[in-house]
C-alpha cells in the first residue's frame, strides 16, 4: 500500500495559489484513479483507490501547511504504511515552473510542510514529487511567502494543467514500476523548454548562410502558528 499526500492550505481562498499545487495534483490523481469521494479523517481529507491490484490512499492535510505532519503521521499509522511507501506532492521554489522532479529523502529546504512531515514521521526518507513554481521574478514586491500565497499568472495558468498531468504521471510510474525507474523517466526538463543552441563555427555559418533576398524568421528568444498558511521558507 502507498500513501500519496498532496500539500496545500484548506479553504477556497487558497485553492488557486502556487502553494496549493499539491492539492491540485492529488485531486487530478483521484480522478485518474477513479477514486471514491474524499472524506474527513486524520485532520485531513482522504480517499482510497487501487492500481493494478495495489491499494493507494490519497490524503490532503487540512491542518494548514505548517502542521501537515499531524495529518500524515496518523494516516500512515492507521493504514500501516511505512515511510518508504509515503509519497508527497508539493510546490518547489528551486525547480523552474513547468518542471516536475522526483526525489527520495533529503532535507526540507525551508518548506514547512516537508519540515512538519519529517518531524512527525521521524524520518526524511519518503519520496517527493517536486512541482516547480520557480522563485519570485525580478521586481516582485513582497516576501517569498507572499509569492507562494499568490495565484499563477496568465501564462502559467495556460500550462498548469499539463504540469499537473505530468506530476500525476510520475506518481503512477512510481506505483507501477518503482521509484528509481520513475525518477529516470520523469527527472527531465519540461517539453518545449530547450537548451539554448551553441553558436555555429565561422565555417559552418558561412556554409549555411541565407541569401539576402530570402527573409528568415527569428525566434525570440509566514509564521509557524497552527492557523498560518505560510508554509514555505518563512
Question: Which stretch of DSSP H or E encloses residue 25?
Answer: helix 21-32
DSSP state, residue 6: E
Please list, in sequence order, all residues whose beta carbon lies within 8 angstroms of the beta carbon of residue 133, skipping any fewer than 6 positions away. 18, 21, 91, 92, 93, 95, 97, 148
Which residue reads 496549493 in cell numbers? 20
**Catalytic residue ranges:** 19
Which residue reads 518542471 in cell numbers? 99
DSSP secondary structure of 51-66: ETTEEEEEEEE-S-GG
The set of cell numbers assigned to 210 is 541565407
Cα separation, 113 vs 232, in Å, equals 7
DSSP secondary structure of 57-111: EEEEE-S-GGGTHHHHHHHHHHTT--GGGEEEEEEETTS-TT-EEEEES---TTB
Query: Is 166 in a helix, a strand, or coil?
Result: helix
Amino acid at each position: 500500500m502507498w500513501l500519496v499526500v498532496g500539500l496545500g492550505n484548506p479553504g477556497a481562498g487558497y485553492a488557486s495559489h502556487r502553494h496549493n499545487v499539491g492539492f491540485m495534483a492529488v485531486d487530478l490523481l483521484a480522478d485518474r484513479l477513479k477514486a471514491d469521494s474524499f472524506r474527513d479523517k486524520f485532520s485531513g481529507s482522504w480517499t482510497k483507490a487501487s492500481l493494478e491490484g495495489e491499494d493507494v490512499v490519497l490524503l490532503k492535510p487540512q491542518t494548514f501547511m505548517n502542521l501537515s505532519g499531524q495529518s500524515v503521521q496518523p494516516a500512515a499509522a492507521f493504514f500501516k504504511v511505512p515511510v518508504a511507501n509515503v509519497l508527497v506532492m508539493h510546490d518547489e521554489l528551486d525547480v523552474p515552473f513547468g518542471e516536475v522532479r522526483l526525489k527520495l529523502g533529503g532535507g526540507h529546504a525551508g518548506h514547512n510542510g516537508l519540515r512538519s512531515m519529517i518531524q512527525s514521521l521521524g524520518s526524511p526518507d519518503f519520496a517527493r514529487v517536486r512541482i516547480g513554481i520557480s522563485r519570485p521574478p525580478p521586481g516582485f514586491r513582497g516576501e517569498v511567502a507572499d509569492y507562494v500565497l499568490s495565484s499563477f499568472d496568465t501564462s502559467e495558468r495556460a500550462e498548469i494543467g499539463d504540469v499537473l498531468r505530468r506530476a500525476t504521471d510520475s506518481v503512477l510510474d512510481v506505483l507501477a514500476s518503482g521509484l528509481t525507474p520513475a525518477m529516470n523517466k520523469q527527472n527531465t526538463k519540461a517539453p518545449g523548454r530547450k537548451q539554448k543552441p551553441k553558436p555555429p563555427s565561422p565555417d559552418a555559418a558561412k556554409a549555411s548562410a541565407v541569401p539576402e533576398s530570402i527573409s528568415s524568421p527569428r525566434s525570440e528568444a509566514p509564521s509557524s502558528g497552527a492557523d498560518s498558511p505560510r508554509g514555505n521558507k518563512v
